[in-house]
């Protein structure tokens, strides 16, 4: 025969079991909701950056930057240094800091590497800009004693190059005095 004490122990055990199951389900649902919220925030962040990237004025600025030509770092500074060409300096830094910020967000896993690659034209804009200006940026690091200047821009370009290679689309330009020449692979 079952007495009252046994019944109360069984009910207490069942209550604890049900509470544990309820807690586990609640925790799992909460984690799913947090993950969904994180993905939504990441998407919103990326779309804000994408809106900047596709802005008409940004395209005009990027095009003007592609037209720049120089022989060496000294020639570059004579033509485009902030003291002689503030408009060009502003366009350049606007563009470079955009890529630098994207690189930092990628490094911190706040944006997805393939999302950047696909939405930003197969990484073309990043790779084109980095390859065109990397010698200048690297020399600026030395001249200004700022070894970390635009390191996330460089990181972003390296990552986009890796994705392009993974996708079977290697990027192999030749840079000649600021002119970017695409060569056959």
CA nearest to 53, candidates 139, 135, 111: 111
34 and 59 in a single domain? The answer is no
pLDDT per residue rounded down to tens, the chain (185 residues): 668 788 788 888 888 888 888 888 888 888 888 888 878 887 787 788 788 788 899 889 888 998 999 999 999 999 999 899 999 999 999 999 999 999 999 999 988 898 889 887 778 889 989 999 999 999 999 999 999 999 999 999 999 999 999 988 887 766 565 555 555 44
User: Looking at the 3D structure of the chain, how many domains does it have?
Assistant: 2
Shared domain for 104 and 153, answered yes or no, is yes
How far is the C-alpha of 180 from the C-alpha of 147, rounded, in Å? Answer: 25
In sequence order, what are the beta bridge partners of 175? 180
CA distances to 20, 42, 176 from 37, rounded to whole Å, are: 25, 9, 46
Please name the residue that has the structure tokens 């690297």. Answer: 138
pTM: 0.75
pLDDT for position 176: 60
Domain assignment present for residue 50? The answer is no
Residue 160 located in a structural domain? yes
């Amino acid at each position: 025969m079952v007495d009252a004490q046994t019944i109360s122990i069984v009910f207490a055990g069942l209550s604890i079991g049900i509470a544990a199951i309820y807690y586990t389900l609640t925790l799992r649902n909460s984690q799913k909701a947090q993950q969904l919220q994180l993905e939504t925030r990441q998407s919103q962040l990326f779309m804000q950056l994408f809106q900047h990237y596709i802005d008409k004025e940004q395209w005009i600025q990027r095009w003007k930057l592609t037209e720049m030509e120089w022989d060496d770092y000294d020639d570059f500074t004579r033509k485009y240094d902030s003291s002689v060409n503030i408009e060009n300096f502003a366009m350049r830094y606007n563009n470079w800091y955009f890529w630098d910020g994207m690189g930092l967000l990628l490094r911190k896993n706040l944006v997805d590497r393939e999302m950047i690659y696909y939405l930003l034209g197969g990484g073309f804009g990043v790779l084109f800009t980095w390859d065109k200006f990397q010698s200048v940026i690297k020399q600026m690091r030395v001249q200004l004693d700022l070894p970390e200047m635009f390191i996330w821009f460089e990181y972003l370009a390296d990552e986009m190059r890796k994705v392009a290679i993974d996708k079977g689309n290697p990027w192999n330009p030749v840079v000649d005095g600021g002119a970017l020449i695409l060569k056959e692979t």
